[in-house]
Amino acid sequence: MARKRVLSLLMAAFLIAGASVAVAQAATGGRSHRHAGDHGSGAGPATATPIKHLVVIFQENVSFDHYFGTYPHAANTDGSPFYGSPRTPTVNGLSGALLTNNPNGANPSRLSHSQALTCDQNHGYTAEQKAFDMGLMDKFIPFTDVESCSPPDTTAPNLVLDYYDGNTVTGLWNYAQHYALSDNYYGTVFGPSTPGAINVTAANTFGVICGPSSAVVNAAPCTAAPGSTPATPGSAQPQGTGTLYSDSDPNYDICSSTQDKNGAASTVVFGGRNIGDLLDQAQTSWGWFQGGFASPDYVPGQPSTDDLSKVCTGAHNNIGGASQNDYNPHHEPFQYYASTANPQHLPPTSIAMIGRQDQANHQYDLKDFFAAANRGNLPAVSYLKAPDYEDGHAGYSDPLDEQRFLTSTIDRLERLPSWRSTAVIITYDDSDGWYDHQMGPIINQSQTALDALTGPGTCGSNPARVPSGQQARCGVGPRLPLLVISPFAKRNFVDNTFTDQSSVVQFIEDNWLGGQRIGGGAADASAGTLKNMFSFRDGDNRPLFLDPTSGEPTWR
C-alpha cells in the first residue's frame, strides 16, 4: 500500500512538472532579437543572435553527478589541482546524505586521477528505468552497476555510484569556471548512444522504417545490405512506425555491421526529418564531422590520396595502451536518414564545398572540419564527434583522453577570427548508467514491455501522455552535463533552466531558421531554452586556453 502511495505521489509530481515546463515555454516563446548581417559560411537567413557559428561537441556516456557531483570542490590529493572561485554558484550535486548515507545502500566514492579507465556500465533503456525506481533513485547497483571488465580498467564494488572531481576532469571544471554550465539538462529519453545521437539532431526516436527487434519496437527488419541502398539527398522519407530504443548501426553506411550477435539483420533506417534537412532547405551551411570517417591517409583537398577501401579503418591507442577503432557507425545519426547520408564515405569535392551540398552530403571526417576552419570556411552549424578513444565512453575511452580532444579542439577554435561569433556546446549522448541523484520530469510516458519506471510495462499509465501514440520514448532520461563556451557565454554561471537534448535542435532552429520546428512529434517543439546560458548584450567573455594534458589554464 505504501509503495502504491509513493507511485501516486510521484506520478502527480511528474504531471505537474511537465505542465510547468509547458507554461514556462508558452510564456517565453517567440521572443528573439533578429540580428542581421553575417549569414555564416553560406547563403541563409540572418541569425536571431550574434552567434554565426555553432559547434556541438557530442561526447559519450557521462551523468552529471559522475563529472560534476562535487563541483567546485576537489580533493586535491592527486593529479592536477583545482581551486574553484569563491564566487562559484552552487550546483545540484552530491552532498550531505547523498555522500554519507546514500539510498542505494552504499556511498559514492571519488575516483582518482589514476582510475581514469573504468568499466562500462549498463545503460539500457529498461535498466535505467529500473535503476530510477519510480523516482527514488535507489536501485542503480542491482540494475546498472558493472564491476567486471578487463585490466587495466578499474573494477570496484558499487562502481556505478562513483564520481570524478576537478583533479581528473580538470579541463571541464575550468571551462565551467569561465563559461556556463547547466545542472538541469537531461537525455530526451532513457537508453544508450544511438537514441541520444538521434535526439540531439532530430529530437525524435520515433519514425524508424526498418530495424531489428533488439533495438526497435514496431518495425520489421531491414533487408538491404549496409551501404548498398542509395541515399537521396534533400528528400526526407515519411516517418515509419517504429521507435529506436537501443544501439544499432545505420543502414546507409558501408562500415555498419551486417548482423547482430544472433545472426539477424541489425541495421536501422529512419524516416522523417532531422535538423540537417531543415538547414538544407534554408541553404545554411552545416556538417557532421567524425573521427575515422575517412581513411587514415586522407588529406582534405587532395581526394586522390584517399583510398575509399580503407574508410573506417583508422585506430588509436587510449591511455591504457588498448587499440580502439576511430569510427563507430552507431554514433553517426545522419547516416540513418536517406536525405542526409553519405553511405560510401565520399570526401567533399573541395575544402570550399565543406558545409555545402556535394557528394559528401554534409558527412565528413574531423580532418575536414579543421581544414575548413583554417581556410575561414567554418560552417554555420557543426557537430563534432571524437574518435572512439577520445569520446569519454567508459570501457574504451576515459576522461584524460577526452580532455585532450576537448581542450585541443577548443584552443584551436578560440584562435580563429570567427571565434568572436562562435559558440561551442559540450554535451553527451547518455549517462552510461552512472548514478545521478536527480530525476527530471516525465514529459513523455510510454507503456511497452520495455518500460519499467513506474512498474512492469509502464513509464506512467496515461496513454494521453504518449506523444502522438509514439511509444518507447519514455523521458526525459538521466541528467547529463552541458556547457556553453563562447564570448557570449555567461561567466562562471550555473543554469537551472530545465532543458534536454532536443534543446540543442531548438537553439539551431531559433537562431537560423526563424523558429521552424521539425514536426512529427519531435521534442524540439516543447524543449526548454539554452538562451539563458548566454548574454548576447556583452560578448566580452575572453578566451580560456587550456593545456591538453593537465587541463590547467595556460593563459587567462
Write the DSSP string, 315-351: EEE-TTS-EEES--GGG-GGGGBTTT--TT-PPPS-G
Q: Which residues contact 69 (CB under 8 A, 6 or more apart)?
A: 93, 94, 108, 163, 165
Mean per-residue pLDDT for 517-545?
96
Chain segment 415-450, per-residue pLDDT in tens = 999 999 999 999 999 999 999 999 999 999 999 999
Enclosing H/E stretch for 543: none
Instruction: Give a yes or no: residue 556 inside a domain.
Output: no
Structural domain containing residue 355: 2-94+102-534
Per-residue pLDDT, 262: 60
Chain segment 185-209, per-residue pLDDT in tens = 999 999 999 999 999 999 999 999 9
pLDDT band at 47 (very low <50, low <70, confident <90, very high): very high
Cis peptide leading into 72, omega within 30 of 0?
Answer: yes
Q: Which residues contact 320 (CB under 8 A, 6 or more apart)?
A: 117, 152, 153, 398
Looking at residue 389, the DSSP 8-state letter turns out to be G
Residue 539 and residue 535: Cα distance in Å, rounded? Answer: 7
Residue 229 has pLDDT above 60, yes or no: yes
Instruction: Give a yes or no: residue 545 inside a domain.
Output: no
Mean per-residue pLDDT for 10-29?
40
For 85, the 3-state DSSP assignment is coil
| Cell numbers describing residue 150 | 578487463
Residue 3 has pLDDT above 50, yes or no: no
Residue 33 has pLDDT above 80, yes or no: no
pLDDT band at 226 (very low <50, low <70, confident <90, very high): very high
Residue 493 has pLDDT above 60, yes or no: yes
Residue 154 has pLDDT above 80, yes or no: yes
CATH code (residue 230)? 3.40.720.10
Instruction: Give a yes or no: residue 548 inside a domain.
Output: no
pLDDT band at 231 (very low <50, low <70, confident <90, very high): confident
Residue 69 and residue 481: Cα distance in Å, rounded? Answer: 10
381-385 and 53-59 beta bridge pairing: parallel
Percentage of residues of the chain with pLDDT beyond 90? 84
Residue 520 and residue 470: Cα distance in Å, rounded? Answer: 10
Residue 402 has pLDDT above 90, yes or no: yes
Chain segment 250-303, per-residue pLDDT in tens = 999 999 987 666 656 689 999 999 999 999 999 999 999 999 999 999 999 886
Residue 23 has pLDDT above 50, yes or no: no
Residue 216 and residue 222: Cα distance in Å, rounded? Answer: 11
Under 8 Å between Cβ of 62 and 82: no
Residue 102 and residue 478: Cα distance in Å, rounded? Answer: 18
| Cell numbers describing residue 529 | 531554452
Mean per-residue pLDDT for 128-135?
98
Instruction: Give a yes or no: residue 320 inside a domain.
Output: yes
| Cell numbers describing residue 522 | 519531435
Per-residue pLDDT, 8: 43
Mean pLDDT estimate for the chain: 91
pLDDT band at 169 (very low <50, low <70, confident <90, very high): very high
Residue 2 has pLDDT above 90, yes or no: no
Per-residue pLDDT, 261: 60
Instruction: Give a yes or no: residue 307 inside a domain.
Output: yes
- The domain tally of the chain equals 1
Place of cell 578566451: 543
Query: For residue 261, with 0-12 CB atoms within 10 Å meaning exposed, 13-18 middle and 19 or more buried, which class applies?
Result: exposed
Place of cell 518507447: 472
Q: If you write DSSP's letter for every residue of 170-184 in order, what string do you get?
A: HHHHHHHHHSEEESS
Per-residue pLDDT, 538: 87
| Cell numbers describing residue 244 | 529506436
Per-residue pLDDT, 37: 38
Instruction: Give a yes or no: residue 461 inside a domain.
Output: yes
Instruction: Give a yes or no: residue 550 inside a domain.
Output: no
Per-residue pLDDT, 40: 37
Long-range contacts of 512-516 (CB under 8 A, 24+ apart): 512/40, 512/44, 512/45, 512/47, 512/48, 512/279, 512/282, 512/284, 512/380, 512/381, 513/45, 513/278, 513/279, 513/282, 513/284, 514/45, 514/48, 515/30, 515/32, 516/278
Instruction: Give a yes or no: residue 549 inside a domain.
Output: no
Q: How far is CA 414 from the centre of its chain?
A: 22
pLDDT band at 307 (very low <50, low <70, confident <90, very high): confident
User: CA nearest 77: which of 213, 205, 179, 168?
Assistant: 168
pLDDT band at 28 (very low <50, low <70, confident <90, very high): very low
Under 8 Å between Cβ of 529 and 521: no
Per-residue pLDDT, 260: 62
Percentage of residues of the chain with pLDDT beyond 70? 90
Per-residue pLDDT, 210: 97
Chain segment 58-95, per-residue pLDDT in tens = 999 999 999 999 999 999 998 778 999 999 999 999 99
Under 8 Å between Cβ of 237 and 207: no
Q: How far is CA 1 from the centre of its chain?
A: 39
